[in-house]
Amino acid sequence: MVSGQGDGHALGKRLIDIADPSCRPAIRALLDPASSAGLRTCQAQIRSQGGKDMLFDIAVVPLTVDQRITGFAGSAVDVTERWTAQQQLQAQLAFQHLLLETSPLPMELADTQGRVVLVNRAWESYKGLRREDVMGVALDRFLPEREAQVHLSHHRQLLHWGGSTHLELKVLHGDGSYRDTRVVKTVVPDSSGAASGVLSILMDISEFREAERATQEARDAMEEAFRAKSEFVANMSHELRTPLQSIIGFAELGMLRGKEQPRLAGMFGDIHAAGQRMLALVNDLLDVAKIESTVGTIHLEKVDLRGLIRPIARELEPLLMQRQLDLQLHLGELPLVAKADPVRFQQVIRNILANAIRFSPDGGRIDIHGSASVDGEIEISVRDQGVGIPEGELQSIFEAFIQSSKTKDGSGGTGWAWPSARRSSRRSAGASSRATAAAAVRPSTSSCPLVRRWTPCRPPDVRPPAYSVP
């Protein structure tokens, strides 16, 4: 029945005739009359009627009459499934061994007593030791004392609690140096589920740690350079302000007392104008120092931008009155809530508004608009009636101390307003911040979108379209 054929088909046939040809020598030996008496065994492969090869364990005992073998009595057990499972297990073990040996990561298996049971080729290369020399040897017999203690301590914890662990330690390399190494350890269970040992996988991270240290040193050096530069600029600016104030003060006094002498008054006027330009440059240098000194110290918070813009307008009111300029604020009734650094944001608005005042014609008008788009972007724009900026110069004006060709009309300025505005906006509101300038149109517009994805604060009775919250 096992072969798929009836008893009648097998009766009268020799066992050697129904076995696979490769098994016939074993069958002949099994049924050899000249062999010794007693139990005889062999394995034979028989093909079933359906064409399936089946493996049998065959056992026979000779039947004798007057000490002469007259026949055999025996049995056959189908072991095909067991044999197939053994073959699959062997293939799996061979595959696992191949993975272990070809892995670039050093691996080591130690038993519950801390003795090495298995290592791979990468471990031999990393440690500079042969597996023949360490198999069955306790870790503390060939590892440095401190390294062995760390390994064995973690082994005891894992064998008690189970699971896995990660650690980083200095490991003695085969070349005699100590390498920064990340080690992953996990418990290996036996067939009953009990812990039979601990598998350790090593990863050399020396280059990563060295790069990390080099990066930190470079960052420290850069921050020190920034600090030294900012300190120098700040000190120099403060040292220059004192004599400049005296020069400007005496020039103003000379202009008042020299009204009856036009030539003398003109000379004092030139001194006063030059002093004012120099003072503006010194103030811009102080802005540079302030911006650079805030690297890494930005404090973002949710604020209503309208409450930050209005104080700047009041602060610059004397300059507006001096030029007879009309400043109009169009900030809407709803709060413009954004996440920004208040100090840096006000510095942006101050620089842009001061720039608009400087280049506006006397008696002109300046408009500040604040609005929020449907997708949640807040845009603050400053619109003046100045000469504008040619389209080809829109990028170059963001370079420090670069002025547009349209501003060479005696308006003054140092070319620092736009660069400082861009730097401050980037640092106060993140990567989405940007500062843009309008092309050569009249009137000109300066636009500074600061925040995307904002959460507006609305009065209870107002229901504008919903904005998504970041």
Residue range 135-170, pLDDT digits in tens = 999 999 999 999 999 999 999 999 999 999 999 999
pLDDT at residue number 425: 57
Query: Scanning the structure block, which residue is given the tokens 């031999």?
Result: 124
Does domain 15-85 fall under CATH 3.40.50.10310? My reply is no
- Beta-sheet strand order (sheet of 436-437): 326-330, 365-372, 378-384, 444-451, 436-437
Backbone angles phi, psi at 136, to 5 degrees: 80, 0
Which among 23-32, 280-289, 454-463 has the top mean pLDDT?
Answer: 23-32
- Cα–Cα distances in angstroms (integers) from residue 455 to residues 167, 303, 310, 376, 465, in the given order: 43, 11, 21, 8, 12
The pLDDT of 59-73, averaged and rounded, is 86
pLDDT at residue number 392: 63
Residues of the chain with pLDDT > 90: what percent?
A: 31
Report how far residue 176's alpha carbon sits from residue 111's, in angstroms, rounded to the nearest whole number.
26
Which among 115-129, 285-299, 401-415 has the top mean pLDDT?
Answer: 115-129
CATH no. for 301-454: 3.30.565.10
pLDDT at 433 over 60: no
pLDDT at residue number 209: 92
SS (H, E, C) the chain: CCCCCCHHHHCCCCHHHHECHHHHHHHHHHCCCCCCCCCEEEEEEEECCCCCEEEEEEEEEEEEECCEEEEEEEEEEECHHHHHHHHHHHHHHHHHHHHHHHCCCCEEEEECCCEEEEECHHHHHHHCCCHHHHCCCEHHHHCCHHHHHHHHHHHHHHHHHCCEEEEEEEEECCCCCEEEEEEEEEEEECCCCCEEEEEEEEEECHHHHHHHHHHHHHHHHHHHHHHHHHHHHHHHHHHHHHHHHHHHHHHHHHHHHCCCCHHHHHHHHHHHHHHHHHHHHHHHHHHHHHHHHCCCCCCCEEEEHHHHHHHHHHHCHHHHHHCCCEEEEECCCCCCEEEECHHHHHHHHHHHHHHHHHHCCCCCEEEEEEEECCCCCEEEEEEECCCCCCHHHCCHHHCCCCCCHHHCCCCCCCCCHHHHHHHHHHHHHCCCCCCEECCCCCCEEEEEEEECCCCCCCCCCCCCCCCCCC
The pLDDT of 204-223, averaged and rounded, is 92
Residues of the chain with pLDDT > 70: what percent?
A: 77
Q: Give me the residue spans of the domains in the chain.
A: 15-85, 91-208, 213-293, 301-454
Q: How confident is the model at residue 30 (pLDDT cuts 50, 70, 90)?
A: confident
Report how far residue 240's alpha carbon sits from residue 431's, in angstroms, rounded to the nearest whole number.
35
Query: Scanning the structure block, which residue is given the tokens 């309008």?
Result: 438
- For 342-391, how does the pLDDT look when each residue is reduced to its tens digit (9 = 90+)? 887 888 888 889 888 888 899 999 999 998 887 778 888 888 887 766 66
Cβ–Cβ < 8 Å for 27, 15: yes
Domains 213-293 and 301-454 in one fold: no
CATH for 213-293, options being 1.10.3470, 1.10.1060, 1.10.287, 3.40.1350 = 1.10.287
Token output for 99: 């993975």
Token output for 352: 């842009």
pLDDT at residue number 391: 66
pLDDT at 252 over 70: yes
pLDDT at residue number 67: 79
In sequence order, which residues have a C-beta less than 8 Å from that of residue 63 and are 6 or more positions away? 69, 70, 71, 72, 73
pLDDT at residue number 262: 85
Report how far residue 416's alpha carbon sits from residue 348's, in angstroms, rounded to the nearest whole number.
12
pLDDT at residue number 444: 43
CATH for 91-208, options being 3.40.50.720, 3.40.120.10, 3.30.450.20, 3.30.365.10 = 3.30.450.20
